[in-house]
Amino acid sequence: MSTLAVIPGDGIGPEVMAEVLKVHAVVEDAFGTGLKTEVLPYSADWFLEHGDVEIDIPAIGRTYGAVLLGALGDPRIPDNRHAIRIIGGLRQQLELSVNLRPVRLRTLAHCPLKHVRDVGDVDLVVVRENTEDVYVGVGGTVRGGRPGHVAMEVGVHTRWAVDRALEAAFELARSRPRHRLTLVDKSNAMPSAGPLWQSRFRALAASYPDVACDHLYVDAAAMELIRNPARFDVVVASNLFGDILSDEASMLAGGLGVAPSASYDPEDTSFFGVFEAVHGSAPDIAGTGRANPLASVMSYSLMLDRMGLRAAHRAVERAVDEVLRGDLLTPDLGGTARTDEVGDLICRAIARRDKDR
């Protein structure tokens, strides 16, 4: 039996996480997953109360089977140091080098592109390297605030992390019906990082003859996502480019309210990873009941799949499909439903499916 660490977070985080825990209770009743939950207090409120203290991140990886993470960010901590401490700490200290961000359109009504005529035209996964690039904090400033102000952000790319992201992307592409993988970089303007990604991509491709490979520069990929999203199956990119492209791609399926993610170490068989919605804490709507819980529920579903709990995962996915194809939607998807109403609907759909088994 595994215990899940639950970090509700800030802003709308606790509201949507409450719906995830409701869904988990129904899933546990229907499928007997044996997964217990334990809420951890880390949030802006906790950091403001306790100060800028360290968190024992490795202990989280040793103690829990996975982390369900709510959105982080609070205007009272404008530099977001607490969010960096939690999110960055989990990703980097636990070596969660693979970040999966699936994007799948469930109904045409939620796609802003008028030329998309079939939901199958938007069905892709962005595999983002999750621990390096400009996110490692290498850089600094010189002559801060003066006319000669210099700002430097250094992108770090190691062969080890690049290989881990690429191998995960190849394996994912092999498992999907289209067997297609696109490397996205900016090698024409990044003469150090670009060739590393390109050479490792070509080297690994030799071990995956069943996967069709191609390459796009990131600016071309951004355009192609709008012009012809159907060309994409699995996309692999560095931390920065993967972050940007996955946010863009999420809009093709309804926006960040339906954008889940999973971060994991492909070599760790005891800790399954961190599962979180892509969206932020949205403090402007916190407490209004307008937040969409689906991205967090879908992240929970990714966790079930990662843990091998396939029947439970399929039940949650079918419930999400049912909600997104219906009329009871939160305002970001054009509806008037409250956060808890959508959560209740998912729970009923899962329970009903279980009775039909």
Residue numbers annotated as active site: 135, 186, 219, 243, 247
The residue type found at 108 is L
d(CA 315, CA 353): 7
Burial of 315 (0-12, 13-18, 19+ CB in 10 A): buried
d(CA 316, CA 303): 11
Contacts of 308-315 spanning 24+ positions with Cβ under 8 A: 309/31, 309/33, 311/31, 312/27, 312/30, 312/31, 312/33, 315/27, 315/30, 315/31, 315/350, 315/353, 315/354
d(CA 306, CA 100): 11
Backbone φ, ψ for residue 253 (5° rounding): -115, 5
d(CA 115, CA 113): 5
What's 133's DSSP letter?
Answer: B
d(CA 291, CA 15): 8
**In 3-state terms, what secondary structure has residue 334?**
coil
d(CA 124, CA 229): 9
CB 216 within 8 A of CB 201: no
**Which segments of the chain does DSSP mark as H helices, in order?**
13-31, 44-50, 57-63, 81-83, 89-93, 159-175, 193-205, 218-227, 239-250, 294-306, 310-324, 339-356
d(CA 291, CA 221): 30
> Which tokens is 2 given?
């595994």
Those residues whose C-beta lies under 8 Å from the C-beta of residue 202, and which sit 6 or more positions away, are none
d(CA 245, CA 102): 12
